[in-house]
Amino acid sequence: AGWRPQVATPDGVPPPVDAESLDPATLGGDYGKAACLCDAVRQITDLHTPIDLDVLTGKDLDTLIGVFIPGGNGPLMDLCQAAGVDRLLRHCVAAAKPIATLCHGTAALLATCGGANRSPFCGQQVTCFSAAEESATSLAGRWPYTLENRLRQEGFRVSTGAPWQSHIATDHLILSGQNPASAAALTHAFIQRLPSTPTPTPTPTPKGKHYEC
């Protein structure tokens, strides 16, 4: 589509890829696909040296045209409580920039909850990896909370579809996808919200180490 994505994480730490998602057994025994995915991860250089969310300046934030937060289990532990995520999301709200969250990535919205300032997303409709889907995974019961239930507790309206099927929800600036099967539909909807003409984006100095798949 012509835009150059930038990768940013808390403390500039390279995001690890869930090993199970690259396991041929998870991919129907397709070793070729597993090797292809692992190679693709290695070639996304920004994944190896992401930007530290905490060093983004106001000018850096102004150059952003939207935020896409992918899934994986990591957001349940770090993005959900990172001050840099809270700052980034509140900037998007103030500047009317679209925010897309996929699967467990919706946990990032929790970073705006629990502080002195009320979450700008309270009462809005989102979707996420559902409780029904969680119960069918190998990690069922090993997390301190279920994302669907936690979001409801924090005042979000959670919409879920059939397990493992594509389902997206949109409300104001938020676009969210329930699970990996929702990735294509969510990405398409997100792109439709972006400006029609890409603009050059300055790159802040990254921090982190190389990630080996």
Phi, psi for residue 61 in degrees, rounded to 5: -65, -35
Query: Which pLDDT score is estimated for 78?
Result: 93
Contact between residue 100 and residue 175 where contact means Cβ atoms under 8 Å apart: yes
Q: Which of 13, 154, 191 is nearest to 80 (CA)?
A: 154
Number of structural domains found in the chain:
2
Same domain membership, residue 78 and residue 23: no
Report residues of the chain scoring pLDDT below 50.
202, 205-213
CB 107 within 8 A of CB 81: no
The pLDDT assigned to 64 comes to 95
Question: Do 68 and 36 form a contact (C-beta atoms < 8 A)?
Answer: no
pLDDT for 206? 47
- Tell me: do 29 and 115 sit in the same domain: no
Confidence (pTM)? 0.87
> Are the C-beta atoms of residues 175 and 190 closer than 8 Å to each other?
yes
End-of-domain residue from the set 52, 70, 87 = 52
33 within some domain: yes
- Are 74 and 169 within one domain? yes
The phi and psi torsions of 59 (rounded to 5 degrees) equal: -65, -40
| Integer Cα distance of 114 and 92 in angstroms | 19
CATH number at residue 141: 3.40.50.880
> How many Å apart are CA 190 and CA 194, to the nearest integer?
7
pLDDT for 98 equals: 98
Answer whether residue 21 is part of any domain: yes
Are the C-beta atoms of 163 and 130 separated by less than 8 Å? yes
Domain ranges, residue 166: 56-193
Query: What distance in Å separates the CA atoms of residue 192 and residue 83, rounded to the nearest whole number?
Result: 29
What's the confidence (pLDDT) of residue 197?
64
d(CA 64, CA 200): 10
